[in-house]
Structure 1
Amino acid sequence: MATYHAGAASSENLGLNKPLIEPANEADIELMVVPSQRVAKMTKQKYLEDFFNKGIIQLGTYDLFRNAGNPEVRDHQEGVVTLIGQGYNRTAWGRFQGGDSNYLFCTYLGDPDPAVVRAFEYETCYYIDDPVGFASAVGAALGAQSYSFGKCVYCQEKALIGELKPEYSFERMDRRTIEMVGEAMHFVKPVRYSHQMEFRFAWRVPSDVKGSLIVECPDAVKFCSKK
């Protein structure tokens, strides 16, 4: 379920020539692009063995991350973003909470910094060598409607700016507005988490989900390798 506060105005009225915030740009979020760096999943040794022996992984949700005990994991703004749409010399904005119908899997882009591994209370990592194959296998195990993955973009204010679609009506600001930037809103994070170098996987399911989910997916193992 999405909740929002919204409005619309001309660019001049909003003073966008002197922005109060510096949002991430939708164009900077490269979804479904396999990175040149390695994609590493930080974990504990026991969970690494569970994955390679049985295909067991734990997926998270925005609810889980908003309420996590470990401050390195906890982000009260998960699933919440300010969307700014520009077009036709006007600007529409809205602060949304959505995406709760997604299961998430957070990884590290490159070889993990040992300090970050310790902060997450992990011990080791493994590599996802084929992000497309991995995402597809997990999606099949979940019966997911769709999946996406990409490198997270960090900004001071959790805001995302993009071009409005031609059919957008400035008279209305609702769930359809989320679609103007599609899945990109799920890959914007506050800059204080930038040291995490997150590469995120998201699987959309038919209804909202909470907590964590243990999934047994042996088919995903062949797309990964040990450190």
Structure 2
Amino acid sequence: MLSSFKNYKAYEDNQLGDKTEGHSMNIVNGANDKMIGTYTMVGQNEFCFCTSTILDDELKKTFKRDSVFRIIDPLNFMIEITRSLPRVQSVLFGNCLYVNEKIISTKIPKNLDIEELKDDKETDKISFQKMIQAAGPSLTRHRFFLKHTDYQPQSEYRMLWSTDRKVEDGLVIHCPEARQFCEEIK
């Protein structure tokens, strides 16, 4: 079962759910003391698979599970899942980053020229895409992995499959090829 950020926002259980999933404040600072801030939401086009990097009985109780599986080869596991999904454009994976506030601050080594960041069609507005390009890949990638420190005991590891469409619900997939890279833990 793959899920979605939308599903995580809807869970009433505050361990499974997170009302601020995918939200972040982003600040880009230029060498000339100019800065731009945005508030963004990501994850609308992603299928999600979240797991933990620790095997702990307390965590199993928290999530109301009587058994779990360990992924012994995460890369090949992700490759097989990717093969079974339609319209995948990219895959992101990694450990969640635990912070007190979901704020990403990036410094670019050059002067931040507001004129260069203006939208080509609406010249009175800043282009978010141009700002992201100026800030670099860390701003884009980190937004998918931010979690409040309240969730740190979960030690979450995420796999995200970006698609070319909105992902509203979860998706049950049949992928027996991925099972060879896992083992059941009772």
- Tell me the TM-score range normalised by the shorter chain: 0.7 to 0.9
For these two proteins, the number of residue pairs brought into alignment is 169
Match of 2:156 in 1: 198
Hey, what's the Cα distance between the residues in 2 that align with 1:226 and 1:115? 17
- Which residue in 1 is equivalent to 2:103? 159
Q: Name the TM-score, length of structure 2 as normaliser.
A: 0.82
> Shift of the alpha carbon at 1:168?
6.5
Residue 128 of structure 2 corresponds to residue 174 of structure 1: yes
- Residue correspondence of structure 1 range 93-108 to structure 2 within 5 A: 93-108=37-52
Query: Structure 1 length as normaliser, TM-score?
Result: 0.68
Q: Which runs of 5+ in 1 are unaligned?
A: 1-57
Q: What residue in structure 2 maps to residue 46 of structure 1?
A: none
Cα distance in 2, alignment partners of residues 217 and 177 from structure 1: 39
Which residue is 1:74 aligned to? 17
- The secondary structure found in structure 2 opposite 1:215 is coil
C-alpha separation in 1, matches of 2:27 and 2:11: 29
Structure (1 or 2) with the greater strand fraction = 1
Give the equivalent residue in structure 2 for 1:114. Answer: 57
Shift of residue 92 of structure 1?
A: 1.9
- Structure 2 gap ranges (5+): 119-125
Matched, 1:217 2:169: no
Distance 1:86 1:76, change over 3 A: same
* Deviation digits for residues 60-118 of structure 1 (CA, Å, limit 9, x no counterpart): 1010000013221111111111112223133221110122100000100122x222211
Alpha carbons of structure 1 residues 125 and 59: separation in structure 2 relative to 1, 3 Å: same
Counterpart among 125, 132, 136 of residue 79 in structure 2? 136
For the residue of structure 1 that corresponds to 2:177, the secondary structure is helix
Instruction: Report deviation, 1:210.
Output: 1.2
